[in-house]
Structure 1
Amino acid sequence: MSVINALEWRYAVKKFDNSKILPQHKIDILKKAFNLTATSYGLQPVKLLVVSNKALQSKLKEASWNQPQVTDASHILIVCIEDQIDSVYIKNYFNRVKHVRNTPEDILEPFQDFLINDFESKSKEEIINWAKNQAYLAMGNLLTVCAIEEIDACPMEGFIADEYDKILNLHTQNLRSVLALPVGYRAKDDMFSGFKKVRKPISDSIIEID
């Protein structure tokens, strides 16, 4: 499919076929796509949890207002943010840049120092909100890749994040859950699969400035 055809094909699945499991190579594509997502400054303050344990999915369902997609999906992907973005985290990023690109330290240091000072001047809430924005970038990227790969998905904000964090012991990894993405294959009787998309006309959603 072309990208546009793929995006027209996708929808937020309401009913998954719980007898079908995504093959590992499809999961690997999603993992790589997540890791390649653009993030502000390249800092990647996000992590992806890939859950395929049905018992664990059942617990997460209870914390998701009992939405059946959480257990019926092949896997549930959970986009999390780092709880601590400090000088150590930023220096680790620049060490990766130095290692991968062989960039001299005297070139990297001014930008590194700028970012450290900038983040030290921000409140905890500001940093969390910034990191959450990066989580939404990752979700958008995953949804597009799912469409291209013909992987059905249902993006979700509708869950109790604190409960997810407890169930998944995220506090021990300095992470917070932000978004969930059940993935798998749509059920043949999901009536939503046949609905036409409701979108504004392009003329109402796009402004061209010559």
Structure 2
Amino acid sequence: MNSIENLQWRYAVKKFDEHKILSEEQINILKEAFNLTATSYGLQPVKMIVVKNKDIQQQLVEHSWNQPQVAQASHLLVLCIPNELTSEYVESYFKLVKDVRNTPDEILNPFKEYLTNDIENKSQEVLFQWMKNQAYIALGNLMTVAANEKIDSCPMEGFIPEKYNQILELDKYNLQSVLVLPVGFRAEDDYMKDLKKVRRKTEEVVIELS
């Protein structure tokens, strides 16, 4: 199947088959897809928690507006951002660039100085929104890759981040949760499974300028 057919196949699953579990290979594909997601400046200010503990998943249901998919899913992916973004994080990124590409300092330093000053001059509130935007990019990429791999998913904003942070002990990683993606396989009796996808006509949502 091609990409468009796979996106037609995809929908926000309302009921997962609790007995079907993603293979290690499938999870690794999602992890690598997450790591390869584009982010502004390539800084990757997003991390992903992979939850496969059913007890923890069940605990999180009540803090997810009681959406049962959180517990039913094979795995729960939680996208997180740092509690605080600092110039040290930028420094570590440019060290990685130099290690991987062996780029001379005279080329790296002007860009590094620009990014460092930019981050230091922005409030943490502004940086929080910017980092959250990067998480949405990662979410979209994960959903597309999942569809191409015939892995079902259900993107969620409806959860209480503070409770997730507490249960997943995210403070020790200096992280906070921003988005949730249960992944697995649709149940045969999911009422949404065979419904036609509702979308406006492409020409209504795409404007071509020539």
Tell me the TM-score normalised to structure 2 length. Answer: 0.99
After TM superposition, the structure 1 stretch with the greater mean CA deviation from structure 2, 83-92 or 122-131, is 83-92
Contact 2:69-2:182 within 8 A present in 1 as well: yes
Contact 2:85-2:124 within 8 A present in 1 as well: no
1:92 aligned residue: 92
CA distance in 1, matches of 2:29, 2:112: 31
Query: What are the Cα deviations for residues 74-110 of structure 1, in whole angstroms up to 9, with x where unaligned?
Result: 0000000112211110000000000000000111000
CA distance in 1, matches of 2:62, 2:202: 39
2:179 aligned residue: 179
Identity %: 58
Tell me the TM-score normalised to structure 1 length. Answer: 0.99
CA distance in 1, matches of 2:148, 2:57: 26
Aligned residues: 210
Return 5+ residue gaps in structure 1 as ranges.
none
Please report how far the alpha carbon of residue 16 of structure 1 lies from its aligned counterpart in structure 2 after TM superposition. 0.4
| Aligned residue type for 2:128 | I
Return 5+ residue gaps in structure 2 as ranges.
none
Following TM superposition, the consecutive aligned residue runs of length 4 or more in structure 1 with deviations greater than 3 angstroms are none
CA distance in 2, matches of 1:168, 1:61: 13
CA distance in 2, matches of 1:202, 1:56: 41
1:103 aligned residue: 103
After TM superposition, the structure 1 = structure 2 runs for residues 146-165 of structure 1, keeping only pairs within 5 Å, are: 146-165=146-165
| Aligned residue type for 2:39 | T
Alignment root-mean-square deviation, CA: 0.6
CA distance in 2, matches of 1:112, 1:160: 36
For the pair 1:145 / 2:138, whether they are aligned, the reply is no
Please report how far the alpha carbon of residue 131 of structure 1 lies from its aligned counterpart in structure 2 after TM superposition. 0.1
